[in-house]
Amino acid sequence: MQVCFLMAPFSRGFLPFFRKFLTRHPCRSAWGILSRFSGYATHQHQNQQRGPGAPLAASVDAHGGVTVGHLPADVTQAAFSELLRESVCVWRSEGHVAVWLRVPIWQSRLAETAAQQGFAFHHAVQDEAVLSLWMGDGESRLPNYATHQVGVAGAVVNQSNGKVLVVQDKNRAKNMWKFPGGLSNPSENIGDTAVREVFEETGVRSEFRSLLSIRQQHHHPGAFGNSDMYLICRLSPVTYEINFCRHECLRCEWMDLAELAKVSDAAPITSRIAKLLLYGLENGFESVDLSVEELPAVYTGLVYQIYHRKIPERYT
Residue pair 257/278 in contact (Cβ under 8 Å)? The answer is yes
214 and 152 Cβ atoms separated by less than 8 Å: no
**Is beta strand 148-158 parallel, antiparallel or unpaired with respect to 227-237?**
parallel
Task: Please tell me which residue in 128, 200, 248, 253 is annotated as part of the active site.
Answer: 200
Please provide the DSSP assignment of 38-71 as one string. HHHHTTTT--S--STTPPPP-EE-TTSEEEE---
Nearest to 89 by CA among 161, 12, 164, 26: 26
Separation between Cα atoms, residue 113 and residue 78, nearest integer Å? 8
291 touches 210 (CB < 8 A): yes
Cα separation, 220 vs 227, in Å, equals: 6
Work out whether strand 128-134 and strand 177-178 pair parallel, antiparallel, or are unpaired. unpaired
Torsion of CA 92, 94, 95, 98, to 10 degrees: -60
Provide the residue count of the chain. 316
State which H helix or E strand residue 128 sits in.
strand 128-134
Residue 282 annotated among the catalytic residues of the structure: no
- Catalytically active residues, by annotation: 200
